[in-house]
Chain A
Amino acid sequence: EAQVTQNPRYLITVTGKKLTVTCSQNMNHEYMSWYRQDPGLGLRQIYYSMNVEVTDKGDVPEGYKVSRKEKRNFPLILESPSPNQTSLYFCASSSRVGDGGPTGELFFGEGSRLTVL
């Protein structure tokens, strides 16, 4: 079954304690992206990756890091979480249009709800 898997689904942590949210896809997609979803703001892109070892900032990258060492995995790292990073996080993947961008049909994981106290 084609899917994007995120872990953990729920996490409560404290300010400053490093954490990693993992994301894995089994569709051989080149493009992967992280979004955060906040009430009234929709989805905002944090980081994206066009291929292995190729990552770039989205609209709200501050306080986050990512890596893309393998095609299937795209972990999101919060080095020193703060309460304003309390949010619902989604990982998404897509194939690309030739050497260009994603097709527009993103496949989303089920989300990771993070609370930072």
Chain B
Amino acid sequence: GNSVTQMEGPVTLSEEAFLTINCTYTATGYPSLFWYVQYPGEGLQLLLKATKADDKGSNKGFEATYRKETTSFHLEKGSVQVSDSAVYFCALSEDAGGTSYGKLTFGQGTILTVHP
């Protein structure tokens, strides 16, 4: 079945540091890939997505590129802020068209803490 593996956390950085959170996946078809973010006390919200190989998703200074050859979708940000402290989830969705119902499979989440 499908699976998503994220780098072990937690990750602790100083403000303005460079961030990478690794994500690799296993899927039988051609999934869409997502990063969700969960701020303290809130539900998850979509951060960015990519629907096909070599697509780059970006939002709020975060970027991730869909790499089919390495089955990866690593999240990066050039300069993190204290307000980026949250839990980040990588996820994949089977093809949402046709007969597949497009279930989202989540990774285990990576806790990011940014200090001033």
Residues on A facing B (Cβ under 8 Å): 4, 35, 37, 40-45, 48, 50, 58, 90, 92, 97-98, 100-111
Contact = CB atoms under 8 A, between A and B. Distances in A.
B42 interface: yes
B113 to A, nearest CB: 16
A63 to B, nearest CB: 20
Nearest to B46: A105
A42 B43 contact: no
Given A40-B108, A42-B108, A43-B89, A101 B43 contact: no
Interface string B83-114: 00000010001101111111110111100000
A17 to B, nearest CB: 26
A42 B89 CA distance: 8
Interface string B8-43: 000000000000000000000000101010000111
Of residues A43, A50, A92, which shows the largest number of chain B Cβ atoms within 10 Å of its Cβ? A43
Interface string B34-72: 101000011111100100000000000000000000000
A97 B97 contact: yes
Nearest to B90: A42
A98 B97 contact: yes
Contacts of A103: 96, 102
